[in-house]
């Protein structure tokens, strides 16, 4: 689905991300593990098309490129409620408001935050914000989902919900993490 070869990102004469090769299949679970500053976020941004100034090659079909979604390490939520945020990405799809709302609620439920649906995004904890952003990304059903440290700030219940959702997600998922990922995710680990 996506092939990355000899990727190198240099900023101010300093190499901030380097990777020899990475192949991502359509249903892969890949864990990008590395210490702080090893270039995990940069790699995800390159894969997401947000970072375009790099050396090396990245091949992937336009279809996948247009269906790749990235969730920030510290996600940004729009003004409004949790439900409105999750429905946001679905507004581009030609489906009715009621159906959008049901789909969004289903993802919130899967991530264990359905009770927060009507809460303002200004009043969420770090873990709740993270799961809201993840639900928003999942709702658009991307072919490639890029998650930057998705398990940080989560309580054990939250971790279980997120791990289960990622495990059951039918498309490719790439997860960046500074620590080893739970075994249930069955990730192929790439160390930076």
Partner 1 sequence: MQFLSEGVTHAVRLLIVGDAEVISAAWNSVWISISAVLLATAVSVPIAIMLYESKSWVSSSLVVLFRAALNLPTVFIGLVCYAVFSRQGPLGSAELLYSPYGVVTGEFMLAVPIVVSLTFGTLQGLDSRILETMRTLHVGSRLRWITYISEARLGMMVAVLTAFSRCITELGIAMMVGGNIKFHTRTLTTATALETSRGEFARGIAMCLILLLIGGCITVLLAWMQRTQESIRA
> Which residues form the interface with partner 1 (CB under 8 A)?
45, 48-50, 66-70, 72, 74-76, 78-79, 88-89, 91-92, 122, 136-137, 140
Nearest to partner 1 of 1, 140 (CB atom): 140
Residue 183 beta carbon to partner 1: minimum distance, rounded to whole angstroms: 28
Residue 89 beta carbon to partner 1: minimum distance, rounded to whole angstroms: 4
**CA–CA separation, 121 and 143 (whole Å):** 27
Nearest to partner 1 of 78, 95 (CB atom): 78
Nearest to partner 1 of 79, 98 (CB atom): 79
Nearest to partner 1 of 29, 129 (CB atom): 129
**CA–CA separation, 45 and 81 (whole Å):** 27
Residue 108 beta carbon to partner 1: minimum distance, rounded to whole angstroms: 17
Task: Report which DSSP code applies to 179.
Answer: S
Residue 123 beta carbon to partner 1: minimum distance, rounded to whole angstroms: 12
**CA–CA separation, 130 and 152 (whole Å):** 8
Q: Smallest Cα–Cα separation from 139: which of 110, 175, 159?
A: 110
Residue 80 beta carbon to partner 1: minimum distance, rounded to whole angstroms: 9
**CA–CA separation, 41 and 44 (whole Å):** 5
Backbone angles phi, psi at 177, to 5 degrees: -155, 140
Backbone angles phi, psi at 163, to 5 degrees: -60, -40
Nearest to partner 1 of 29, 45 (CB atom): 45
**CA–CA separation, 191 and 28 (whole Å):** 16
Bridge partner list, 174:
30, 146
């Amino acid at each position: 689905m996506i092939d990355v070869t000899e990727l190198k990102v240099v900023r101010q004469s300093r190499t901030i991300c380097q990777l020899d090769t990475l192949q991502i299949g359509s249903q892969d679970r890949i864990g990008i593990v590395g210490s702080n500053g090893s270039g995990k976020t940069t790699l995800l941004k390159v894969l997401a098309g947000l970072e375009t100034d790099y050396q090396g090659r990245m091949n992937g079909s336009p279809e996948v490129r247009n269906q790749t979604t990235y969730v920030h390490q510290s996600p940004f939520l729009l003004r409004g409620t949790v439900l409105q945020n999750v429905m946001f990405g679905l507004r581009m799809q030609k489906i009715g408001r009621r159906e959008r709302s049901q789909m969004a609620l289903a993802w919130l439920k899967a991530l264990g935050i359905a009770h927060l649906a009507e809460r303002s995004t200004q009043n969420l904890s770090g873990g709740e914000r993270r799961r809201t952003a993840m639900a928003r990304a999942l709702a658009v059903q991307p072919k490639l989902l890029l998650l930057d440290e998705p398990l940080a700030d989560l309580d054990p219940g939250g971790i279980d919900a997120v791990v289960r959702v990622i495990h059951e997600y039918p498309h490719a998922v790439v997860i960046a993490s500074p620590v080893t990922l739970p075994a249930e995710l069955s990730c192929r680990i790439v160390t930076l």
